[in-house]
Structure 1
């Protein structure tokens, strides 16, 4: 497998892959020519025709950057990568390119879109729908029957109460408590979470 990205986030994805039996790391790919190695793996700087048949995972924490790369690259993406310590219901749908980190929990009847990140210790409860490119940060809790739109990020330690709908490309600040629906592109912080501004998203 190819890991695209040589950041700290990529190091965590290496750990996920090492915990699994189904994949191994072939090498890491990064756009920065100064980066030569990541936790013992060679870093290359260009996708070649010979690499087209290899599975790839986008080890990019920034949702917009991950979105742009996935739109641009003509590559076959891996099925979801799930750390062996994560607790995952058998009754979920988790799609290609998504990663589930150590000690995360995903409960029944949940749908996880493409290229999502369920970070360390995050909890995603039953009947949740996460659209593509969503990031649930460490120790965040998304309770039951929540819908989160494309590209949104739930900050570290934040909580989303049951039944809330969060729009696309929303940022929920660390530790926020979301008790009502949030419109597209909003940035919310606090307890209860309040809109402080709107994101300017450039995904064209």
Structure 2
């Protein structure tokens, strides 16, 4: 493991990511890249360049994409992997991780999150504050599970989906790729089409 960490994105989500990295106490230094030239410090850490400068730092730093938008995060992380970057997993010390849980590179697990046994979490995911995933879940790449979301057992969430704050997903549910679940949504049956879903239980409102 390299002893320096570089986070792309110094705003809201990037700061939350940096806070976790500092609490993990694995890196001698943590810095940011950000395209807003007005930001020179964030969370007391230096912004040392723009996102386009990242290739210059690949040899010396582990690099993490601290961007909340799934599509942007995917583009940046795939470019980093193609260029041989070392990308860590970030797990808040107060998260609870069960046995036989697999977590892929570029994923962040935030404070109070619980992942129960035999769950697989793909690359570039966000498991936000206080989210819970029960046993045998499959979370595909570049999914954002918002704060306070609760997934029962044997739930599959497709690539690039976003589960809004406070949502609930019943057991044995499959959610299609690129779905968006509105805040407080309750999912009680499979979502077999890409789209935006809202309500209790959720209904599809648009593609």
The two structures share one fold, judged by TM-score above 0.5 = yes
Shift of 1:50: 4.2
Question: In 1, are the aligned partners of 2:63 and 2:88 still within 8 Å (CA)?
Answer: no
> Secondary structure of 2:32's match?
strand
Is residue 52 of structure 1 aligned with residue 58 of structure 2?
yes
Separation in 2 of the partners of 1:34 and 1:13?
20
Shift of 1:14: 1.3
| Length-normalised TM-score, structure 1 | 0.92
Matched with 1:193 is 202
Shift of 1:24: 4.7
Shift of 1:102: 0.3
| Length-normalised TM-score, structure 2 | 0.91
Separation in 1 of the partners of 2:149 and 2:120?
17
Separation in 2 of the partners of 1:185 and 1:57?
28
Matched with 2:177 is 168
Shift of 1:49: 5.0
Shift of 1:32: 2.0
Matched with 2:13 is 9
**Cα distance per residue 1:1-43 (max 9 Å; x no partner):** 0000011111111111121132354310012222211111111
Structure 1: gaps spanning 5 or more residues: 199-204
Matched with 1:157 is 166
Q: Which of 41, 45, 51 is 2:45 aligned to?
A: 41
Stretch moving more, 29-38 or 165-174: 29-38
Task: Give me the CA root mean square deviation.
Answer: 1.4
Matched with 1:104 is 113
Structure 2: gaps spanning 5 or more residues: none
Stretch moving more, 69-78 or 37-46: 69-78
The 1:193/1:29 distance shift into structure 2, 3 A limit, reads same
Matched with 1:201 is none
The 1:146/1:49 distance shift into structure 2, 3 A limit, reads closer
Question: In 2, are the aligned partners of 1:55 and 1:75 still within 8 Å (CA)?
Answer: no
Matched with 1:116 is 125
The aligned length equals: 198
Separation in 1 of the partners of 2:147 and 2:122?
18
Is residue 32 of structure 1 aligned with residue 36 of structure 2?
yes
The 1:56/1:48 distance shift into structure 2, 3 A limit, reads closer
